[in-house]
Chain A
């Protein structure tokens, strides 16, 4: 693994999480466009993140909790305690 690959791997999470500055983003992106092995690692990690989000976003608040919050929001709080 070359220096560029190593530097890219170190920045990969930041790149995926949109935490890098513009210059860093350009650098990582240029390398990924150029280096299929690194690009594949990135695709896989990004796929993991999407998977976690998709799987964990399926739960919705129960209707009774939603109603309770609505009452609180509309100024009729009925604290359960």
Chain B
């Protein structure tokens, strides 16, 4: 078993605890359980191979996510996944504004009530998986995995400003998708591809 208190980069058991986080994010990225499992395996194999490059005391979760997003982007370059078309938001969109415009008592409604309690099972996951991959990665890293903007910038090798704009656009696009799923009429200004 892994020794406690070694505190060295060779103590690989430190990385083990992030397997659920890596897997659920891999699922959002690949959209397929078998691909997600494969992606996580390759991530751990690389982490194992390069474990001596990990600096003890730094964030091992961020390190693993850096490896995984790199592996994923390399794979994507070789085998691009189809992306559902998403209109670039010209005007800002939010479900909140949409409901308010319709005169709904929006201060009495939570997103849970509006979106989830309509009998859908996995609509949030599906909506997320339909986002363009660059936005999706940022939304997953910030909203699901709780990384800071700075950590996300480092993980993805992009500027903080880019993190913020992708996050902003990604959250809006996610709300548009959820709005459609929730069975409400589509926002008039928004043209959407196949369902």
Contact = CB atoms under 8 A, between A and B. Distances in A.
Contacts of A40: 96, 106-107
Interface in B64-122: 94-96, 106-107, 110-112, 115-116, 122
Contacts of B174: 48, 52
B61 interface: no
A81 B48 CA distance: 14
B2 interface: yes
Given A40-B107, A68-B44, 19 more contacts: A13-B167, A18-B148, A41-B96, A44-B96, A48-B95, A48-B111, A48-B174, A49-B143, A51-B124, A52-B124, A52-B174, A53-B143, A55-B122, A56-B28, A60-B23, A61-B20, A65-B23, A68-B41, A73-B13
Interface residues of B, number: 48
A59 B143 contact: no
- Grouping DSSP codes into helix (H, G, I), strand (E, B) and loop, the A interface class, with mixed when no group exceeds half, is helix
B24 A47 contact: no
Given A56-B144, A73-B2, A62 B111 contact: no
Interface residues on chain A, size class = 35 or more
Interface string A59-79: 111100110111011110101
